[in-house]
Structures are given as structure tokens and as C-alpha cells.
A and B are shown apart, each in its own frame.
Chain A
Amino acid sequence: MLPVNGTLAQALHNPTTEQKGKTARVIPKFDELSAAAARARDENRDDEAIRLYQQALAVRPAWPEGLWYLSTLYYERERYADARDVLRRFLTTDSTAGPGWALLGMSEFQTHEYPRSLDHLERAMSLGLGDRKEMAQSVFYFVGALRTRFERYDDSMTFLMSMVKSGSPIDLLVEPIGLSALRMPLLPAEIPADRREMIRMAGQGALALEAQNRTEAERLFSEMAKSFPNEIGVHFLYGAFLLDVRPGDGIAEMKRELQISPFNTTARLRLAEQYLKDQKMDQALPLAEEAVKLEPDHPPAHMMLGEILVAKEDLAGGIRELELAEKGAPQMVRIRWDLLRAYTTVGRKDDAQREKEEIEKLNRPGNGQ
């Protein structure tokens, strides 16, 4: 008799079963089931394959191959919650299986368990997906979109642009990039109908900029700013573009953004940076100070304030802010460069040397910089 519930070990260790000589019958049964399941799967008889894998797994619950194939069958049949549950069992048997984490994260995306989904998709990326290019593309797409939803806009933008560079289909990326550029924590499916056009313009503009097509980028950004003048993020995005082209116009756009969203730390910092570049310290300093006040745990705010204080020759104050920034974002090379220069100026040679070594470490390939 085939044990339906419980492990094969249980069946094998049941003295009664052993005495009756039934153990020998169990193994071929499992083999038969697993072979039949594989055959059904190969022949695209999915429902039958699912049933057979379920039966085989009832005999041997921790059978990795069975768990994997059953989960892929569930996923293909859009039975995402079932796929998710089986994958969780699969990953207990092998926690280093990148594709397993990927499929789990993708299933959780479909069941709207977004925090877990992102966590598991990122784990999949760190473990690697082998030569599964299609799966990798899906994983990257979901990761980019989810990072935006979790307000990790800089991470998501860098990531999405790296997808563009590596040849991912651009059409698919317009909306995720637009959302990230406008700093709207939504998935493409969650875009309000009345602003889809705005988001697409932002995405297309950012893509044009990435492709060094500044004329097209400006056309799109300026049209977006004209069509949606009261929306958050629109003037910031256009302003950030203009700061590199016509800084005066860029400053005006940033100020417009701050009128619409007075607590926008990013716009404040970008404006402060521009004033620092223009050596207008008296205008730069209050903006950076306000940014620190608004977001006391935001390393770029401390970095900007530190840079301005150093430029104003308040080295002690500048170093204090830069060290706070470094504590919050030890991977940011720019902060370490700032500190290296500041330490060197005040003669703190050992500290400067340490920063230099850290910069070298961070700049080594594979350090994610």
C-alpha cells in the first residue's frame, strides 16, 4: 500500500510494514510515479503530471526534483500560491538554488506579497540564474519595478538603466523608468489612468537622455512639464536635466518643484549641489541644512552639508557631517573621497590613508560600484 501521508522513511520504519515485506514494493512505486510524472511533463500533459508529482511527493516529501518540477508546472498554470508553497519546501532542501528563489519571488509577485517577492528575487540575483536568460529578464524587471514601489528610486533607476544597456526590450521599461524618475512608488499595473501619459513621457525622456539624445529628452521633459505642471516630481526631473544643460533654467525648475512639494529633500539637495558648484555658499548652506533636518537619516543630505561646510572652510563641521554620511552609506565612494580630501587638509594622515584603502577596495570589480 502506498503511504499517502508521511514520509517514505516512516513507511520503511514501520515494523509492521517491514514484517509484511511491503517495503520493497514502495520504492518501485515511487520510481514508477516519478518516471510517469516526468513522462507526462515531457508530453505536456500538465494536469496528469501535476497529479503524479503530487503522488510521488506524498511518498517522498523532500524529493527536490519533484518539488521543482511541480512548482514550475503550477507556475505555468498560473497557480501561483501553489507554486509558492511548493517552492518554499524545495528551497528548504537547497537554499542555494538561484532559479528556485527566482521562481518563488515571481510567484510572490503574482500573489501580491511584494516585500517577500523583492527579498527573494534579490537573493536569486545574488546566487545567479545560470543560463536562464528569459527568467533573468523577468527577475530583473520585477526587481526594478519593486524597488520603485518600495521607494528605492535611485537603486531602481540604476538597475533599470543597466537593463537597458544590456539589451532588455525598451518598450517594457518605459513605464518602470518613468515611475522611478518621477519617484512614484507604484507598479506599472498601479498607474492611474489620468497620468499614464505623464509617466510614459518621463520614461521616454529618461531613455532619450540615456541614449545621449538631449534634444529629444528636452522635448519630452518640457512637454511633460507643460502638460502636468502641478504634479509632484515633474519639475524636479526636468530641472535635473536642465541643470546640466542650462543651469539657470534648471534652478528655476527646481524651485518650481519645491513650491509644489516643499518637503522634497532630493530637489533641495540637487539645488544645493548646483549652488555649491556655482560657489554660492550662502544659498547652498540653508538648503542642505533643511534637507538634514527633514531627513536626519539620509546620508546624501549629510554628505551635501559636509561638502558645503568643507568648502566654507568649516573643516571640523564638514568632517562631522561627512562621517555621519559615511556611517549611513559606507559604500558611497563620493563620501570617502570627500573625507580623504578633508582629512588630508587637516593633516589626519592615518584617517586619510584608511579612506584611500577603502576607496580602492570599493573600486575593485565586483564591489557593486
Chain B
Amino acid sequence: MTEAVQNISQPQIEAENLSLWYGEKQVLKNISIKIPRNSVTALIGPSGSGKSTFIRCLNRMNDLIKNCRVEGKVLIEGKDIYAPDVDVVELRKKVGMVFQKPNPFPMSIYDNVAYGPRIHGVNKKDLDSIVEQALRSAAIWEETSDRLKSSALSLSGGQQQRLCIARTLAVKPRIILFDEPTSALDPISTARIEDLITNLKKDYTIVIVTHNMQQAARISDYTGFFLSGELIEFDQTRQIFHNPKEKSTEDYITGRFG
């Protein structure tokens, strides 16, 4: 790690010696990382290296998996999210997540975006503007403004994924986790989502898991390389791609395995 990464002060996300087991199997080994505010961090590594599992620790989605055990600390804005007094529901409002497969609810476009705020008790009259705002920020307002009442399932895959991003934005999170958000999309849709992520950086802290190395290089400020449950290397993206410290990082990004 270069000094630039070690000296990140007041990180928005911080993991300290984070380990995770599914039953007997250890999936994450002593992960320590500091992720600064308003940046895009890409996590790369072969399948099964633990990168998706890691981001699912940041909003405690792993709680859903039985026999899952976590040790170590995860601090979001300085607060340990695995402390016993933490309200997981509140945590997930702050830390949004966009999944690999576009998965809008079987409802109208409007209702999809309004779903979160509505349940969180937002006033009916404020809802319209929240929905419009979220759809605009997710760069899908132009395509949907005249058909908000039609089913979200009538949209194309790429549109559905942007709608899912809008749905996440509507809850007003501070951090957004992307779990391979473009792996099910065509190149044009992928490019639009990448532009969108770059734009969202102004207002959000973004962590993205990707299998696509070019994508990591294009959109991220920081890159972490995972291998067999360990965070092998974490640094500025430039460093990782041009001057990796570890042999295995270099092997992976040059395509020698993975």
C-alpha cells in the first residue's frame, strides 16, 4: 500500500481485521481497508475470492445467510455496524445496494422508486418530487417520465438496472454498493451505468464489485484485489494497474489467471 492509501483520514467505510465464515468455511480472512468519502472503489478478483461477500458485510446482507459468522469490525462513518445496538434497517437506509441482476419489483415504474420513501413514511405530496429527482439522478427520467404508471418489467435490462439505481437513490443513502451491476447488460447499457456511477461520486461513496478489469480502470479511484478471501492489495487504481506491488495482482490484471 502506498502512503496515499494508508493515510486516508476519516474514512467513510473502514474494516478492521474482518473475517467471515459460512459454517466451517472461512470466506474472508483478516480484511482491513479504509475507503474515503465521495470516491469510487472497485473490488476485483476471481470468482469466489470473497469480494461480493465483503460488500455484503457493509450493509449486513450476510445476516440473511444462516451459519454466517463475522469477526472483526466494520465502521461506517466511525460507527461499528456489528455492535449489538445497531439498527440494521437504519444501516441499510444509509448503505444502499444495487444487485447483479436487474430486479425491479413487479409494480409500476413510479411505485418502484416510491417504494422505499413511502414505507419510510415520506409525505404523499413530497413523493412526486423525490421520484422525479431519483429518476433524473439515475439518468432514466427522459425515458420514463411519460410512462411512470406502466410496469417496471416492461423496461429493457439496462433501463431496469438504472431504475434499480433510482430506487436506491430515492432512499437517500450516503453509500451505494454495486454488486457486479453490469455483468448482465450489453455494452451500451454498461457504458451508461458507468457514466452514471462516475456522476454519482459527487454525492455518494461508491463501492463496486466487478469482474471487468477495464471497468475498474475506467471508473474507479481506488482498487482492491481479492484472492481466496484475502485482500491482497488495495491502492489507487493508477497504482494497481500500472505499478502493482504484488505478483498475484499483476498476474490477475494481466490476465494470467482468473
**Do A and B share a complex?**
no
A: which residues have CB within 8 A of B?
none
B: which residues have CB within 8 A of A?
none
